[in-house]
Amino acid sequence: MKLEDIKKIAVVGAGDMGHGIAEVALLAGYKVALRDVEQRFVDKGLQRIGESLARLARKKRVSEEDRREMMGKIETFIDLGEAVKDADFVIEAVPEVMDIKKRVFLELDKLAPNDALLASNSSNMSITEIASVTSRPEKVVGMHFFNPAVVMKLVEVIKGDETSEETMQLTLDLATRMNKLPVRVEKDSVGFIYNRIGAPGLILLGAIVDRGIATPEEIDARLKHMGMPMGPYELMDYVGLDIVYHSSLYVAERLSAEYGPPEWLQEKIEAGDLGKKTGKGIYDWSRGRPAIDLSRAKEDFDPTDLIAIQVNEATKLLEEGVTKNPDDIDKVMIHGGRAAFGPFQLARGIGYDKLARRCEELAREYGVEAFRPTETLKKGNI
């Protein structure tokens, strides 16, 4: 299949990510089939696409005529077979639970045309394992968008063990055609690039709060003060605490128990406080985005610690061959999180020696092996 052969894209799952991906496909001119398991979910997804396109039209990013045309190019479905029967490219965006993903791909393999490519928007799960339930693993690929999909430029394109080069290239081309910035992830490894680099941050941030060094708001205020669009706790609420929870369970199973969800996160999940989507999480979202008081920025929390362990984790990706290109890692962190600089750009400014020493101290202070500096970090020169 060639890029020009893709006329219709089916998006399976109409939630935060699914509706955003469907909107991105509409903006690129594709016909879209949006599917979810209940009418109210597809209705909500369609409503959100309508609101977002109206926002873009108000800002004159799309014309009123194009907006109307796009709304006419999307159809919604409850029946999976109906949604994907004539799709050329299918993007799955269902909950981050491996059994659910596998069930969906088993069905997709039966119901989608034989030559259709099947992509998963999973944020950290094995594409190889998802593909293993299909009869076409060479046509299964990771296509990880970032939230909100319509705003964030990055798409990680992940090669499963059996994904063909043709599938990779077509997915990279499609992402570019969707006005995104795709980055190749060469090895199907837990968390891919963005979420793997973020994973030790959750350990450190949790420990800082548990030890009473700073509160979530004091940490967010400090990082927002430095120019981040959202602090890490606000961002967790924004993407959904259930997603962060399932993701850290998955990383803990695959890498080490240290990456498991902190206690406070389990408590939030049990209470049903999932962040923005339920109106309450770490913050109160019932009246919109929380107003974080920047004057509460706490000096006791040193953001360099977060940078040190993230650069260290990034060096593990180079050692493991997840990507060979440090510039791609910087690109992922800049465009996946709207950061001003990538980890290696920061490391060159701060100095690899200093970061490696700090990682050694953090590993000792917190008793966390995941913070231990790699040989690549100690050598520096990246």
What residues are labeled active site? 123, 144, 156, 195
Number of residues that bind ligand 3HC (CB under 6 A): 21
Helix, coil or strand: residue 53: helix
User: Judged by CB, which is closer to ligand 3HC: 227, or 229?
Assistant: 229
Distance CA 267, CA 133 (A): 34
Rg (CA), the chain: 21
User: Judged by CB, which is closer to ligand 3HC: 187, or 357?
Assistant: 187
Cβ of residue 14: shortest distance to ligand 3HC, in angstroms? Answer: 14
User: Judged by CB, which is closer to ligand 3HC: 6, or 21?
Assistant: 21
User: Judged by CB, which is closer to ligand 3HC: 230, or 356?
Assistant: 230
Distance CA 87, CA 89 (A): 6
Helix, coil or strand: residue 76: strand
Dihedral sign computed on CA atoms, order 312, 313, 318, 320 = positive
Sites for ligand 3HC among residues 149-208 (CB under 6 A): 150-152, 195
Pattern of binders to ligand 3HC over 24-63, x per CB under 6 A? ----------------------------x--xx--x----
DSSP state string for 164-191: -HHHHHHHHHHHHHTT-EEEEE-S--TT
Contact by Cβ (8 Å): 197, 313: yes
Sites for ligand 3HC among residues 248-267 (CB under 6 A): none
Q: Which residue is nearest to ligand 3HC (CB)?
A: 123
Distance CA 361, CA 364 (A): 5
Among 261, 337, 342, 343, binds ligand 3HC (CB under 6 A): 337
Among 67, 80, 112, 123, binds ligand 3HC (CB under 6 A): 123
Strand pairing category for 154-158 and 140-145: antiparallel
CB atoms within 10 A of CB 265: 21
Strand partners, 140: 118
| Residue 359 contacts ligand 3HC per CB under 6 A | no
Which are the contacts of 375, defined by CB distance < 8 A and separation ≥ 6? 319
Among 93, 140, 235, 346, binds ligand 3HC (CB under 6 A): 235
Q: Classify residue 89 by burial, with Cβ atoms within 10 Å: 0-12, 13-18, 19+.
A: buried
Among 338, 348, 357, 378, binds ligand 3HC (CB under 6 A): 338
User: Judged by CB, which is closer to ligand 3HC: 129, or 162?
Assistant: 129
DSSP state string for 18-39: HHHHHHHHHHTT-EEEEE-SSH
Element (H, E) at 31: strand 31-35
User: Judged by CB, which is closer to ligand 3HC: 78, or 226?
Assistant: 226
Sites for ligand 3HC among residues 276-295 (CB under 6 A): 289
User: Judged by CB, which is closer to ligand 3HC: 6, or 239?
Assistant: 239
Cβ of residue 193: shortest distance to ligand 3HC, in angstroms? Answer: 11
| Residue 147 contacts ligand 3HC per CB under 6 A | yes
Q: Segment contacting ligand 3HC (CB under 6 A): 84-92, 146-154, 167-175, 279-287?
A: 146-154
65 Cα distance to chain centroid: 32
Structure-token pair, residue 171: 């997915």
Angle at 281 between CA 310 and CA 16, to 5 degrees: 75
| Residue 274 contacts ligand 3HC per CB under 6 A | no
| Residue 239 contacts ligand 3HC per CB under 6 A | yes
Residues of this chain that interact with ligand 3HC (CB under 6 A) are 52, 55-56, 59, 123, 146-148, 150-152, 195, 229-230, 235, 239, 243, 289, 336-338
